[in-house]
């Protein structure tokens, strides 16, 4: 397949999900897309180093001292300037507006560390999600990859994978297991699936 969809990954932190995507592209799991750009909302994010080590172009767009509109316009300028066709949110800690998500309808995907519709929406991020699952006493959690729309964690589900909760789990041990057993597997698979669908639409 000669055509490859140009992917931008938006990050804010360590970039473990970004690394899973980079590894998946190298190993051929992602073959219909190419990670062409990594944009971080945090200039200190380790994800930027991961991208640079992999030879991927990087940029920083901070929300600080800017309106939402200015912040998003700077991202749009980078996306358009680099011919980006798919946006992957990988630990991106900024909420995107309705006008932004509408502009890239069915072109933004996100991974969330629970089985949506459980433990999702506003305020559910990071360890809070895993703490909520443990507090509730569920026996199974997991991760969900979904399209992004104006509702936090409200877009159409692309893929899910379940992970068992083990007696004695802490939010930290559960977070690690959900990452390794679910997030790092279904995020690359979902990116490949959406890239294939975009190519099909374009042909």
pLDDT for position 65: 87
Query: Could you list the active site residues?
Result: 112
Q: How many CB atoms lie within 10 A of CB 45?
A: 23
- Are β-strands 140-147 and 157-164 bridged in parallel, bridged antiparallel, or unpaired? antiparallel
* pLDDT tens digits, one per residue of 100-118: 999 999 999 999 999 999 9
What average pLDDT does the segment 78-87 reach?
A: 98
Query: Whole-angstrom Cα distance, residue 16 to residue 18?
Result: 5
User: Are the beta carbons of 92 and 82 closer than 8 angstroms?
Assistant: no
Query: Whole-angstrom Cα distance, residue 85 to residue 178?
Result: 28
State the CATH architecture for 5-202: 3-Layer(aba) Sandwich (3.40)
Report whether pLDDT(26) > 70: yes
137 φ/ψ sector (left φ>0, alpha ψ -120 to 50, else beta): left
Query: Whole-angstrom Cα distance, residue 124 to residue 44?
Result: 23
Q: Which of 16, 1, 52 is nearest to 185 (CA)?
A: 16
Please state, rounded to an integer, the average pLDDT across all residues of the chain.
96
Report whether pLDDT(1) > 60: no
pTM for the structure as a whole: 0.95
DSSP state of 5: E
Give the distance from CA 90 to its chain's centroid: 3
* pLDDT tens digits, one per residue of 180-190: 999 999 999 99
* pLDDT tens digits, one per residue of 156-179: 999 999 999 999 999 999 999 999
Q: Token digits for 155?
A: 């877009």
User: Are the beta carbons of 15 and 47 closer than 8 angstroms?
Assistant: yes
The 3-state DSSP class for residue 144 equals strand
């Amino acid at each position: 397949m000669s055509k490859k969809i140009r992917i931008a990954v938006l990050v804010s932190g360590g970039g473990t999900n970004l690394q899973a995507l980079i590894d998946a592209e190298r190993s051929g799991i992602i073959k219909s897309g190419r990670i062409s750009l990594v944009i971080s909302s945090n200039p200190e994010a380790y994800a930027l180093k991961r991208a640079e080590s992999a030879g991927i172009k990087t940029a920083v767009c901070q929300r600080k001292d800017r309106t939402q509109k200015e912040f998003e316009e700077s991202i749009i300028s980078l996306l358009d300037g680099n011919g980006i066709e798919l946006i992957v949110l990988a630990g991106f800690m900024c909420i995107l507006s309705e006008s932004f998500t509408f502009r890239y309808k069915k072109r933004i995907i996100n991974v969330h560390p629970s089985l949506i519709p459980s433990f999702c929406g506003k305020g559910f991020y990071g360890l809070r999600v895993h703490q909520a699952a443990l507090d509730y006493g569920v026996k199974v959690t997991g991760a969900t990859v979904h399209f992004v729309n104006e509702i936090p964690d409200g877009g159409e589900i692309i893929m899910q994978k379940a992970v068992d909760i083990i007696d004695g789990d802490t939010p930290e041990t559960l977070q690690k297991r959900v990452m390794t057993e679910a997030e790092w597997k279904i995020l690359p698979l979902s990116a490949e699936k959406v890239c294939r669908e975009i190519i099909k639409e374009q042909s």
